[in-house]
Structure 1
Amino acid sequence: MQTVFVAGATGYLGRHLCAEFSRRGAYVIALVRDASRARELAADSLVEAEATRPETLVGVMDGADLVLSALGITRQSDGLGYHDVDYQANVNLLREAERAGVGRFAYIHVLNGENMRTVPLVAAKTAFVRALQASALASIVIAPSGFFTDMGDFLSMARSGRVWLFGDGSHRINPIHGADLATATADAIEAGQDWLDLGGPDAFSHTALAELAFETLGRPARITHLPDNLRRLALRVLPWLTPRRIHGPAQFFLTAMAMDMVGLPHGTHRLADHFRSMAKSSSEDRPARYAVGTGD
């Protein structure tokens, strides 16, 4: 039985990775900062440790065949930066994997990382990829185009009545569901690949994404295309006007919107179905409105 050590296990993708390897019969060890957040996690054992503190990692990977890291900052506000987590914490994991004699190390990166080196989030990830590739460990880098969950912003804007896009909206993306990415990752590892750029089964232009969001809600499409120089201006001023937890992800998305983010198509989950599920869930969560004499 293969033993798989998953870092970032309680995140969106980490949960899918644990479930996929568990389904394939692996013994899954999940690295978590807080075991209370690991409810319903498909793992055979939990390890509470801080990847940013290498002394807490000593011995946790002994006997593991594969380390799989989906570790990175999303919107945390605990004082740590991208260099601390996306780079250094992953380096700490890599060094412990080397010490423990782990057979292989897999890392979830981002598509087009080399073209986004001015974005601190991506620069930290790219720096770790270089460290991983310089290691004597066999490695694999998985570079997804984007997740279904990231596309929820289009639905939110459509629900508010208008979708705002930069430029002509022609850049394309094929986002992927977390379960499909986990399956593709496991397949790539089994096949002995060392790098995989991937996305979901359907590619959309940004305009098409906006149209799909309005169609899902049953509303006429109202899309405004803003000059791209406003996007570039936002990239310059956001770090001065907002905290890192806001401008960090914004810098990434604003930069990614200026290029095609299309990886090799994988998976069976469709974004249209995901949008319908999100719209239904939001409708069910919204309290009923009662008004006198308004016809509502």
Structure 2
Amino acid sequence: MKTVFIAGATGYLGRHLCAEYGRRGWHVTALIRDAPRAGDLAADTLVEAEATRAETLTGLMEGADLVVSALGITRQADGLSYQDVDFQANLNLLREAERAGVERFAYVHVLNADAMRQVPLVAAKAEFVDALRASELPSTVIAPSGYFSDMGDFLAMARSGRVWLFAPGTHRINPIHGADMAAATAEATEARTDWLDVGGPETFTHCDLARLAAASLGRHVSITMLPDWMRRAVLTLLPRMTPRRLHGPAHFFLAAMSRDMVGTPFGTRRLGAYFETLST
């Protein structure tokens, strides 16, 4: 039986990754920060360590065939930055994987990262990918367009009766469910794919997302278009007016809203059904 070592295992995607690899017959070793957070995590072995501290990882990957990292932060906490976690902690994982003789290292990245390197969250991830691609260790990079869970903002706005979008509202995205993303990751690593840009089976404009959210709530919702110069102005002002833990995720969201985020279609789960589960 092959062993997969999963970092970021207690996060949204990490839990799906543990379940998917287990379903495929892998022995799943999950890296966690503290046992109480693991809950009902579908893992065969739990190992506690701080990936930001390289010395705590020593020996943990012995016998592992594959490392999959979904490690990253969306809101800074504990005084840690994107550079500390999305770059350095993943680099610590990579160096230990190299030392342990792991066969392949897979990393969950961001679609269109090269076009968003000015965003701190993306810059840290892209810097790690540069290091990963330079390593002699075979790698797989999976770059998702966005998750169903990220689309919750559209549903929250729809509940208020008004959805605010930046003009023209025609940029497209095909978000993917975490379970489908985990399956895409497993297939890519088993096929030894170098790089996969991936999204869900349906593509929406931002206006489509607003209307879908409204339909799932069964109510009329007004859509208000804001001029794009306001988005650009907010990008400039956010770092000066809000703490880093708030403006970091907002910076990424506003940057992603300005372009198409469409990956190779994968999976079967539909966003409308997901919205309906949140609407009941």
Q: Using structure 1 for the length normalisation, give the TM-score.
A: 0.94
- How far apart, in 2, do the equivalents of 1:117 and 1:74 lie? 16
**Cross-structure match for 1:43:** 43
Counterpart amino acid of 2:96?
A: E
User: Residue by residue, what CA displacement relative to the aligned partner does 1:186-245 show, whole Å, maximum 9, x if unpaired?
Assistant: 111111110000000000000000011111111113000000000000001111111111
Residues 22 and 42 in structure 2, CA contact (< 8 A), matched pair in contact too: yes
The aligned runs of 1:104-119 (5 Å cut-off) are: 104-119=104-119
Aligned to 1:34: 34
Amino acid at match of 1:191: A
Please report how far the alpha carbon of residue 150 of structure 1 lies from its aligned counterpart in structure 2 after TM superposition: 0.3
**Counterpart of 2:186?**
186
Give the letter for the 1:215 counterpart: A
Query: Helix, strand or coil for the counterpart of 2:230?
Result: helix
- Contact 2:4/2:66 (CA < 8 Å) preserved in 1? yes
- 1:83-113: CA deviations, max 9, x gaps? 0000000000000000000000000001000
Displacement after TM superposition at 1:167 (Å): 1.2
The one-letter code of the counterpart of 1:231 is R
Aligned counterparts, 1:1-296, within 5 A: 1-280=1-280
Q: Structure 1 counterpart of 2:26, which letter?
A: A
2-side partners of 1:192 and 1:8: how far apart?
Answer: 21
Q: Tell me how far apart the structure 2 counterparts of residues 101 and 23 of structure 1 sit (CA, whole Å).
A: 25
Deviation, 1:67, is 0.4
Instruction: Give the total of aligned pairs.
Output: 280
Secondary structure of the corresponding residue to residue 164 of structure 2 = strand
Other structure's SS at 1:198 match: strand
User: What is the alpha-carbon distance in structure 2 between the residues aligned to residue 74 and residue 168 of structure 1?
Assistant: 27
Q: CA deviation at 1:182?
A: 0.4
| 3-state DSSP of counterpart to 1:238 | helix
* Cα-Cα RMSD: 0.6
Hey, what's the Cα distance between the residues in 1 that align with 2:232 and 2:183? 36
Q: Give the partner amino acid of 2:209.
A: L
Runs (4 or more) in structure 1 with deviation over 2 Å come to none
Contact residue 76 and residue 82 of structure 2 kept, 8 A: no
* Seq. identity, %: 70
Partner of 1:283: none
- Give me the whole-angstrom Cα distance separating, in 1, the residues matched to 2:175 and 2:11: 18
The answer to whether the 8 A contact 2:76-2:244 is kept is no
Name structure 2 gaps, 5 residues minimum.
none
Letter in structure 2 aligned against 1:177: H
SS of the equivalent of 2:198 reads strand
Q: Is the 8 A contact 2:4 2:28 kept in 1?
A: yes
Cα shift readout 1:224-274 (whole Å, capped 9, x = no counterpart): 000000000000111111111111000001000000000000001000000
For residues 244 and 166 of structure 1, the distance between their equivalents in structure 2, rounded to whole angstroms, comes to: 23
Q: Secondary structure at the match of 2:94?
A: helix
| Structure ID, larger Rg | 1
> Equivalent residue of 2:88, what SS?
helix
Q: Distance in 2 between matches of 1:130 and 1:80?
A: 21
1:208 alignment partner AA: D
Which residue is 1:292 aligned to?
A: none
Paired amino acid for 2:155: L
| Cα deviation 1:120-160 (Å, max 9, x = unaligned) | 00000000000000001000000000000000000000001
Q: 1: distance between equivalents of 2:166 and 2:268?
A: 30
Which letter maps to 1:234?
A: V
Whole-Å Cα distance in 2 between the matches of residues 222 and 40 of structure 1? 41
Tell me, in whole angstroms, the C-alpha distance in 2 between the residues paired with 1:211 and 1:224: 12
- CA deviation profile, 1:30-86 (whole Å, cap 9, x unmatched): 000011100110100111000000000000000000000000012241100000000
